[in-house]
A and B are shown apart, each in its own frame.
Chain A
């Protein structure tokens, strides 16, 4: 028997694609759609209720974000958001509750390394890039917007 592998990297790669278990796409999409949609409806409900109580539109939308972030943080801290994420996938990752989850989860986990170097330093381990690229792209495009609307 030849002791060397008679297979090239690309042949092996093809073999993996052929044999690997596939994600259950339809099931995943169904739950992502439904749970993602429901979280947004919950946001709408909070928003409408606040506005009914006479809170201004702008403030209501900020309170809505804060409420959803609280819900995400709470569900994370009672170990439920990770379970939800297993079923909902992107349906629970993409809403703002998922942003909250991605901040709270490392904060809980890195407590064992202390308050400063553990919780403090690792809180934005997952969500940090969201702020970096969100803010950077906003400032750059804000500058472009300023040039086009106020200079030219």
Chain B
């Protein structure tokens, strides 16, 4: 049911039944290492190219989710998946061997929440019972597509973020089929916001206004204030982008600093790992949600969270043509049944 300007209240409260995550070597050196299900030791994952490695990672991640959930492929109604590569090849090739309908998504780093959002809507509409939402990114395949070759010697801008090598997947179920008490209660699809930021090395600042817009519209639509949630998790604003988000809220007289965490910031140790402003990429919020956040929800250390994945909807082509970077953010309210 639509409430307010752009939020949908889910009366059936679809359940996030289980999650699965896989990360690369650098993410395993980060502070969240203990939460990830699997990791790869070699960035090629025994494949011949980074793109193949990314596909294999996503495939392993979804396979693991199916095993973990104790279901079989025929129980799954549809898989939503997306990544950063042109024509979403990581997802297409990863899901090629599954006997499950596939819907590919592109929302840049917001893809995971877009997938969760659509999954929950399918279930709310009673058109599906078990749906998988997944996303992946790989540092090397993203660098190839968006930046300079890996072996090129150059310095990254201090506001740049490093693409996370990771995949995450979540199984969203109809409560009548399977329920663990973790429910999606509201979803707020985001509007595209562009404040004219052109710097490809400063995606965080380009996406922060979109996150602000979606979060504030979500709060208005639901009549909640920021204290309703234990935490608002944004997905990949990085250190600088998070700073910008806090500033935007400060302009409205709201202090979010004690209520806000960013997946791109918490996945790495900013001081010891060479990542400038933190992580980014579809796999970032996907793997952090599927590991750390979901764990905390299950343990009831967190009970009400707003998951906000942000995406920068540009390409190297649009940037070469002088276009600015349009940002988007989708919000998902996830609550423990208490």
Using CB atoms and an 8 Å cutoff, list the residues of chain A in contact with chain B: 1-7, 9, 12-13, 15-16, 19-24, 28, 76-77, 79, 81-86, 88-89, 92-93, 98, 101-102, 104-106, 108-110, 112, 125-126
Q: Which residue of chain B is the closest to A79 with respect to CB atoms? A: B151
The reply on B254 being an interface residue by CB < 8 A is yes
Chain B interface helix/strand/loop/mixed: loop
Contact check, B195 vs A6: say whether CB atoms are below 8 A apart: no
Residues of B near A20 (CB, < 8 A) are 158-159, 202, 205, 240
Chain A interface helix/strand/loop/mixed: helix
Within 8 A of A (CB), among B150-169: 150-159
Interface residue range, chain B: 35 or more
A-B contact count (CB 8 A): 117
Residues of B near A88 (CB, < 8 A) are 153
Q: A3-B216, A15-B247 are in contact. Are A22 and B158 (CB under 8 A)?
A: yes
Residues of A near B48 (CB, < 8 A) are 112
The reply on B118 being an interface residue by CB < 8 A is no
Identify the 6 closest CB pairs spanning chains A and B, nearest first: A85-B153, A105-B151, A21-B158, A112-B49, A105-B149, A9-B196
| CA gap between A85 and B150 in the complex, in Å | 11
Given contacts A1-B219, A126-B149, list 18 more A-B pairs with CB under 8 A. Answer: A2-B216, A4-B213, A6-B251, A7-B209, A13-B197, A15-B244, A20-B240, A21-B159, A23-B157, A82-B150, A86-B153, A86-B154, A86-B156, A89-B155, A101-B152, A105-B152, A109-B144, A110-B149
Residues of A near B216 (CB, < 8 A) are 1-3
Residues of B near A101 (CB, < 8 A) are 151-153
Residues of B near A28 (CB, < 8 A) are 155
Contact check, B195 vs A5: say whether CB atoms are below 8 A apart: yes
Contact check, B154 vs A93: say whether CB atoms are below 8 A apart: yes
Q: A1-B254, A12-B196 are in contact. Are A109 and B149 (CB under 8 A)?
A: yes
Write the nearest CB–CB distance from A24 to chain B, whole angstroms.
Answer: 8
The reply on B243 being an interface residue by CB < 8 A is yes
Residues of B near A85 (CB, < 8 A) are 152-155
The reply on B193 being an interface residue by CB < 8 A is yes
Q: Which residue of chain A is the closest to B49 with respect to CB atoms? A: A112
Q: Which residue of chain A is the closest to B154 with respect to CB atoms? A: A85
